[in-house]
Amino acid sequence: MKNAVLTDTPAQQVHSLYADHHGWLCGWLHRKLGNTCDAADIAQDTFMRVLTRRQPLHLNEPRAYLSTIANGLVVDFWRRRALERAWLETLEILPELEAPAPETRMIFLETLIEIDRLLDSLKPKVRTAFLLAQLEGLTCPQIAEHMGVSLSSVERYIAKALRRCYTLRFES
């Protein structure tokens, strides 16, 4: 598919995009990941993202479009792997009697991934202020001094972060 034909239905456009570029995308992802199975999974997720788009496709550079989506998914993949690795390392140092059950381990891991997504969705200053308050226990005046911003800015940052937490918890 060189360019999406404007008269095609969205389903026809995605079908053509898949037929013309799936093999290329799998190869591109395999070179990035070094694993055929992970590459196939991310290629599939990439096309699922394309399928769930609300806007019609008008692509002049379909491979650039697909690689942009896939690259974001690769970043998420590596981030999740790093979280999984850190969680497993934490579990290894726990005494056997204190280690959570397998089901609880998965719940904790999924929760960590959700928290990571939440934090990643925040602007850097908002995230920093929120983490300083939550993890370091700093007060708003201490955070303002630490970040070199006004007290009202810190209060605004923390309010934004808390609103985001609330929205994800109770309105999703």
Span 46-71, pLDDT tens digits: 999 998 887 767 788 999 999 999 99
CB 29 within 8 A of CB 73: no
Do the domain assignments include residue 17?
yes
pLDDT reported for residue 127 = 95
Do the domain assignments include residue 15?
yes
- State which amino acid sits at residue 163: R
Say if residue 70 is in the same domain as residue 17: yes
Q: How many domains does the chain have?
A: 2
Domain end point (choices 43, 78, 113)? 78
Do the domain assignments include residue 116?
no
Do the domain assignments include residue 69?
yes
Do the domain assignments include residue 161?
yes
Contacts 24+ apart (CB under 8 A), 131-135: 133/158
pLDDT tens digits, the chain, 172 residues: what are they? Answer: 445 444 567 778 888 899 999 999 999 999 999 999 999 999 999 999 998 887 767 788 999 999 999 999 999 999 999 999 998 998 889 888 888 888 999 999 998 888 888 898 899 999 999 999 999 999 999 999 999 999 999 999 999 999 998 888 787 6
Domain end point (choices 60, 78, 96)? 78
pLDDT reported for residue 172 = 62
Q: Which domain holds residue 33?
A: 10-78
Task: Look at residues 116, 122, 159, 121 and name the one whose alpha carbon lies nearest to residue 140.
Answer: 159
Do the domain assignments include residue 131?
yes
Do the domain assignments include residue 88?
no
Do the domain assignments include residue 163?
yes
| CATH number, domain containing residue 148 | 1.10.10
